[in-house]
Amino acid sequence: MKRSLIGLLLPLCAFTACKDTPPGQMEPIPRPPGYVEPPKEEAPKPAAAPAPDPNKVVLRWNLVVDTPVAFRLEGTPESTDSKAPAAAALRTTYALQRPREGDYQLRFTTEGAGATQDQGTVSERGFVLDGLNPSERNLATLWLELPRDPVAIGNTWALGADLVDVSPLGPDFVQKKAERRNSVKLTALIPEADDKVATVEYDLHELVTGSFPPSPHALHTIPAAPAKPADKKKGKKETEEHASQGPREVTATVTIKGRGDFLVKAGRWRSWQGTLTAKQEGYTPKTPNESLVKVPTGTFKLQLTALDSVPAELQQPAAKK
């Protein structure tokens, strides 16, 4: 009898356990008669993009994919000191190319003493990303880099250029004065046929002055400026003794002025020209990389010219199949 009763209770308990409400579960509250569900709130629509300012333009290179364009930057020396040796002329040829994907490619070659051929990468607006030494980068930046944001007449922006670097002077150098001006300005925007001509003016200047204390350590580690002809006759020993009598002054300065007309729709320069003046006094670098001014020294009249075709040495090698 007991076994029969237990056999009946077990299924009943199992059935009841299946219907038990799990701990913590909340029962829904019954709605009153006539209750109407409120309408669901719609997700907020994204804010509409602001209308473009008709007074502003976006300056960008307009290149056909895998079709490079070539430019030549020439610098004609202009002597400001009849006693100073004339600087060598500058002549750099560039090829700018937009690939199917990735960053734009810049290839260039220089002429004259120490001729080089190299390449780098730039952004869509011409900002140099990689691959160029400081002097090459600064020269390319002058004509290549365009403003990041839309600009209107009177707007200014800065270039990614560092024209003076005194780190080669080491810890003995005591800086006295530093000036920096890096301003590029849209001065005019004139309609022309189905395009617009944006006139851009450049005003860049960097100056650093300082000195070295008259210590043997400073004279040993930092190359002195070239001695004057009269000093050479006195001999090396006498020249060093004279230099040790007081601090040695060092000056590095770069000034760049320029102007260009950029075709907004065509996405290229119609004309670009400027002047470059760079000098360093009281210091002679052992190698070009140790120069304080990160552009060629001297005074130059700069001129950018668009070429009809890309020189063979700057053509991109054909991909191997």
Between 38-52, 270-284, 296-310, the lowest mean confidence (pLDDT) is in 38-52
Residue type, 296: P
Interatomic CA distance for residues 136 and 296, integer angstroms: 9
Provide the pLDDT for residue 306.
Answer: 94
Q: For the chain, what are the domain ranges?
A: 69-305
Q: How confident is the model at residue 229 (pLDDT cuts 50, 70, 90)?
A: low
DSSP 100-143: SSSSEEEEEEE-STT--EEEEEE-TT--EEES--HHHHHHHHHH
At 103, list the tokens. Answer: 């960053």
Q: Which sign, positive or negative, has the C-alpha torsion 252, 162, 139, 273?
A: negative
At 75, list the tokens. Answer: 């610098």
Q: Which sign, positive or negative, has the C-alpha torsion 288, 291, 296, 298?
A: negative
5 has a pLDDT exceeding 60: no
DSSP 194-215: TEEEEEEEEEEEEEEEEEE-S-
At 278, list the tokens. Answer: 């760079």
Provide the pLDDT for residue 239.
Answer: 45
Any residues with CB less than 8 A from the CB of 311 and at least 6 apart, and which?
Answer: 70, 93, 95, 109
Q: Burial code of 195-219, b = ≥16 C-beta within 10 A, e = fewer?
A: ebbbbbbbebbbbbbbbbeeeeebb
Mean pLDDT in residue range 35-51: 76
Provide the pLDDT for residue 321.
Answer: 36
Residue type, 106: L
320 has a pLDDT exceeding 50: no
Identify the CA nearest to 246 among candidates 212, 210, 284, 280. Answer: 212
Phi, psi (rounded to 5 degrees) for 138 = -65, -40
pLDDT digits (tens, 9 = 90+) for 104-153: 999 999 987 677 888 999 999 999 998 889 999 999 999 999 999 999 99
**Contact status, residue 100 vs residue 65, Cβ threshold 8 Å:** yes
Mean pLDDT in residue range 221-227: 52
pLDDT digits (tens, 9 = 90+) for 152-165: 999 999 999 999 99
Q: How far is CA 244 from CA 129, 169, 215, 316, in A?
A: 44, 17, 7, 55
Any residues with CB less than 8 A from the CB of 256 and at least 6 apart, and which?
Answer: 142, 163, 202, 203, 204, 205, 274, 275, 276, 277, 295
The enclosing H or E element of 77 equals: strand 69-77
Interatomic CA distance for residues 105 and 321, integer angstroms: 21
Provide the pLDDT for residue 221.
Answer: 46
